[in-house]
Structure 1
Amino acid sequence: MKLLKDILYGVSLTAVTGDTNVMVNNVHFDSRKVEMDDVFVAIKGLITDGHKYVQKAIDSGVKAIVCEVMPELVVNGITYLQVDNGNKALAIMASNFYETPSKNLKLVGVTGTNGKTTVTSLLYSLFKKAGYKVGLISTIKIMVDDKEYKTTHTTPDALAINYHLHLMNEAGVEFCFMEVSSHGIHQKRAEGLKFEGAIFTNLSHDHLDYHKTFAEYRDTKKKLFDGLSKSAFALTNLDDKNGMVMLQNTKAKKYTYALKSFSDYRGQILEHQLDGQLLKIDDNELWSKLIGDFNAYNILAIYATADLLGLEKLEILKLISELDNVDGRFQYFISKEKITAIVDYAHTPDALKNVLITINALRTGNENVITVVGCGGDRDKSKRPVMGHIASDMSNQAIFTSDNPRTESPEKIIEEIEAGVEPQNAKKTLSIENRKQAIKTACKLAMANDIILVAGKGHETYQETNGKRVDFDDFKEVKAALHDLNK
């Protein structure tokens, strides 16, 4: 058990009713998990308001309630603590409860529209290859050195973050690389964490269903850098027009990387093929299995970060050359018919455009590019016609299909994607709601040397419709469909 007042250290309280000098078992924001002598933090979420479950928490035997709105009736023997922001309070309490685990390792946060998963995952792999105990908190998974834990959010809730950082402390982890999403920043999930450094990858059209304006989206990302200490480093992509915005108010030491601009870490693409690319970094040539300009930027970010964390430069270059693609990030294979299938998480206009630019740059001119793509339901609708335009304009054939329609009509989503197709590209498009059938159709249309891009889901192994998830893996589906062509 822990003393309540110790867990509350650093939390700004607007009102207190009851005693904070009491022992408590645990901290929860989910009333279904609350047990005797716990603390319940009432969070105002997007779907439900935790204040509705205060009585349920009391019935479960909690010793304290943290809330933004005090209940009209208070129960004797229970401590009530009023705060301005429940999410912020939860994050600080979580850090305190697990004895500020972020201070005991070097935690690096990565934010940006695209590249977060690739950069964090490859940094994890690189430092593992270098012989360190390493942690990873990413969209795909959480790793505590060699042990894997499942994750459902890009940035987990504050309790989950600190719990896993605590496990990393126990395992002797020295470095941890963590994706920090705009949602996570806005909802204060990273509050109270001590970052050794932060990386900005890029910023493009996404999440405007949540943030409403691009400026709000950008400024939310910027808060990660605003909160860095003087001893931390802030690393930004100088080629992105928002790159220097991230550094405007940071106290951290500032560093830049770029392919096109004069920067602290400068890279150049010398040659690229389907199986990799030749880069020049710090006057040293490097062959990487990761292809495309977007991966060149990711590699530069990885190189710079490893250097700032103290690894020797030539060792970093050697280790980068050994790194493989991250699952669902330009993951490809070539069938017996010499058809290349590529699966990528590209679910934003900028990401889709970058992947198609890379694919088209690798063509000799005779191959067709067939793109299968959809847009998620209950998400930013404004990007749908833009995705339709890009896919149809940059492919020989575009097939629009479902991609986690959630509670929306799949047909309606596809119609909104189709709205972005220009008249001259209309004949190049098909709409097939069933994603499995869409992938099969792409495979049937493909001839030898053609390239199939299945975009949007990447590493995801499910399709979500009306609250139900069914198994669905793009990579397995396209591989099976191409295999069936041999029968």
Structure 2
Amino acid sequence: MANLKDILYKVKLISVSGATDIAIDAIQFDSRIVGAGDVFVAIKGTQVDGHEYISKAIEQGAVAIVCEDIPSDIHPQVTYVQTDNSAKALGVMAANYFGHPSEKLKLIAVTGTNGKTTTVSLLHQLFMNLGYHTGMISTVQNQINNAVIPATHTTPDALQLNSLLKKMVDSGCNIVFMEASSHAIEQERMAGLKLAGAVFTNISHEHLDYHKTFDNYIKAKKKLFDDLPSDAFALVNVDDKRGMVMLQNCKASKYTYSLKMMAIYKAKVLSNSIQGLELNIDQKDVWFRQIGYFNAYNLLAAYATAHLLEEESEEVLMNLSQIELKNGRFEQVPNNAGITAVVDYAHTPDALENVLQTIDNFRTGNEQVLTVVGCGGNRDTTKRPLMAEIACRFSDRVILTSDNPRFEEPEAIIADMQKGVPVSQVRKVTNLPDRKEAIKLACSFAQKGDIILVAGKGHETYQEIKGERSHFDDKEVVREMLSLIHNK
């Protein structure tokens, strides 16, 4: 129970009709779950406009409405609050309702096309090892210390997010690392939060189904940095040409990291093998368990963030070197067939090229690289041919398959991917919409010493088809098929 006047603190108001000094039971933006005594926030979403459900919310007991457009049919017992951005208002209201949990700990947001989950996971594990009570909000899962809370979105909605942060505060967390997706930033899910810092990893082709243009996608990421307070830090990867763009008009203290250019935080890759990475960071040579050049950036970002949070360099490096993540990023599947089987979340052209380039660096040339890859349905279609072209460029055999086709036909998605297959490489490509059968085929083609990459799902343990999610774990299927085929 809270007072509407208190909940509206710092919300940009255009007009108010009715009393604000009234008790509110809960804040809702989904009319289906509005109850007696609630305030309903009508949000103009990409699929649904909450303004169309104001009458329904009132019928179900809403005593106050927050909206951008005041309806013509005014209910005399209901308070109407007009604002210019209902989504932003919801974030501010949620922060007020839950007692501003983000102000009671250090909240660090990580954004970028690739590397968000790994960087956040590294930081969460690192700070737990350093003795902190630590929270994590990520695509893979949310955690309060070691306790796992299942994740439904890359960044939860504003109500879920503040509720989760309050739980973290109540559990004694003093620092939280979270992924910040471009959708969440643009949809104002993080409005009302106080950030202690933000990290930019990189940006490449992704989410154009939502943002429409690459420029809009960049602007969404940049908004995170534009909104940082002056007492926060902004840390960006300047090897990405948009890194410095993120710092334009940013009020926070500015820091950079790089493997190639002049930067405040620098690292050099000394060795890169299937066993791990050796990096020179801060004049110290350190071996890490993570694999691949792209992980050198994630490790450097984690190190720089810890340093900006005033942790001692040697202790940070020692603890980082001991962390082994199993989060569906270049995760190897043990087997007795002498085959290197890798599962990776790569679902963008840039991420797929990073993983296959890493494999290419390891290979001797005497083995086959077999890649199983698909593209998600009802998502950015322009990346599909790019994904297929990259797979063909680095692989000896390519199997195009399903990856959460959602409400699209898998064959139509694969047909889009086929447009990127060079004419000279058509013979190396097989289309097989059934993902399990595609993995089975790759395992049957593979011989001792070969390398299988199953890309796109990584940590996910489901396949989404026609609105239904069924259990599907790439690691389980790879393990099962390699055992079935090679242990006869």
The answer to whether the superposition gives a TM-score over 0.5 is yes
Give the match's secondary structure for 1:46. coil
Match of 1:141 in 2: 141
Match of 2:463 in 1: 463
Deviations 1:433-476 (A, max 9, x none): 00000000000000001110000111111111111111101111
Residue 118 of structure 1 contacts residue 326 of structure 1 at CA under 8 Å; is this kept in 2?
A: no
Match of 2:255 in 1: 255
Match of 2:268 in 1: 268
Give the match's secondary structure for 1:90. helix
Match of 2:11 in 1: 11
Deviations 1:371-394 (A, max 9, x none): 000000110000000001000111
Match of 1:416 in 2: 416
Per-residue deviation, 1:141 = 1.2
Matched, 1:99 2:107: no
Match of 2:165 in 1: 165
Matched, 1:80 2:80: yes
Cα distance in structure 1, aligned partners of 2:15 and 2:262: 52
Per-residue deviation, 1:146 = 2.9
Per-residue deviation, 1:99 = 1.1
Matched, 1:383 2:361: no
Residue 279 of structure 1 contacts residue 287 of structure 1 at CA under 8 Å; is this kept in 2?
A: yes
Match of 1:211 in 2: 211
Per-residue deviation, 1:370 = 0.4
Cα distance in structure 1, aligned partners of 2:143 and 2:334: 30
Match of 1:55 in 2: 55
Cα distance in structure 2, aligned partners of 1:331 and 1:386: 23
> Could you tell me which amino acid in structure 1 is paired with residue 130 of structure 2?
A
> Could you tell me which amino acid in structure 2 is paired with residue 185 of structure 1?
I
> Could you tell me which amino acid in structure 2 is paired with residue 160 of structure 1?
Q
Cα distance in structure 2, aligned partners of 1:38 and 1:150: 26
Deviations 1:124-183 (A, max 9, x none): 011011111001111111112232211111111001110011111111101100100110
Question: How many residues end up aligned between the 2 structures?
Answer: 487
Give the match's secondary structure for 2:375. coil
Cα distance in structure 2, aligned partners of 1:326 and 1:2: 42
> Could you tell me which amino acid in structure 1 is paired with residue 107 of structure 2?
L
Q: Please, what TM-score do these two structures have when normalized by structure 2?
A: 0.98
Matched, 1:242 2:245: no
Match of 1:155 in 2: 155
Cα distance in structure 1, aligned partners of 2:173 and 2:50: 34
Residue 121 of structure 1 contacts residue 326 of structure 1 at CA under 8 Å; is this kept in 2?
A: no
Per-residue deviation, 1:82 = 1.4
Residue 63 of structure 2 contacts residue 77 of structure 2 at CA under 8 Å; is this kept in 1?
A: yes
Matched, 1:119 2:119: yes
Match of 1:480 in 2: 480
Give % identity: 54
Cα distance in structure 2, aligned partners of 1:147 and 1:58: 38
Per-residue deviation, 1:326 = 3.6
Matched, 1:345 2:345: yes
> Could you tell me which amino acid in structure 1 is paired with residue 447 of structure 2?
M
Cα distance in structure 2, aligned partners of 1:369 and 1:146: 36
Residue 372 of structure 1 contacts residue 401 of structure 1 at CA under 8 Å; is this kept in 2?
A: yes
**Aligned pairs for 1:162-241 within 5 A:** 162-241=162-241
> Could you tell me which amino acid in structure 2 is paired with residue 147 of structure 1?
A
Per-residue deviation, 1:210 = 0.9
Give the match's secondary structure for 2:243. coil
Cα distance in structure 2, aligned partners of 1:238 and 1:400: 34
Cα distance in structure 1, aligned partners of 2:131 and 2:403: 39
Deviations 1:188-208 (A, max 9, x none): 011111100000000000011
Per-residue deviation, 1:50 = 1.5
> Could you tell me which amino acid in structure 1 is paired with residue 189 of structure 2?
R
Give the match's secondary structure for 1:114. coil
Residue 404 of structure 1 contacts residue 464 of structure 1 at CA under 8 Å; is this kept in 2?
A: yes
**Aligned pairs for 1:392-411 within 5 A:** 392-411=392-411
Residue 340 of structure 1 contacts residue 449 of structure 1 at CA under 8 Å; is this kept in 2?
A: yes
Residue 333 of structure 2 contacts residue 475 of structure 2 at CA under 8 Å; is this kept in 1?
A: no
Cα distance in structure 1, aligned partners of 2:463 and 2:126: 31
> Could you tell me which amino acid in structure 1 is paired with residue 218 of structure 2?
R
Cα distance in structure 2, aligned partners of 1:47 and 1:250: 32
Cα distance in structure 2, aligned partners of 1:294 and 1:139: 19
Residue 36 of structure 2 contacts residue 62 of structure 2 at CA under 8 Å; is this kept in 1?
A: yes
Q: Please, what TM-score do these two structures have when normalized by structure 1?
A: 0.99
Cα distance in structure 1, aligned partners of 2:18 and 2:175: 40
Give the match's secondary structure for 1:401. strand
> Could you tell me which amino acid in structure 2 is paired with residue 173 of structure 1?
C
Q: Which sections of structure 2, spanning at least 5 residues, go unmatched? A: none
> Could you tell me which amino acid in structure 1 is paired with residue 443 of structure 2?
C
Match of 1:448 in 2: 448
Cα distance in structure 1, aligned partners of 2:110 and 2:326: 16
> Could you tell me which amino acid in structure 1 is paired with residue 39 of structure 2?
V
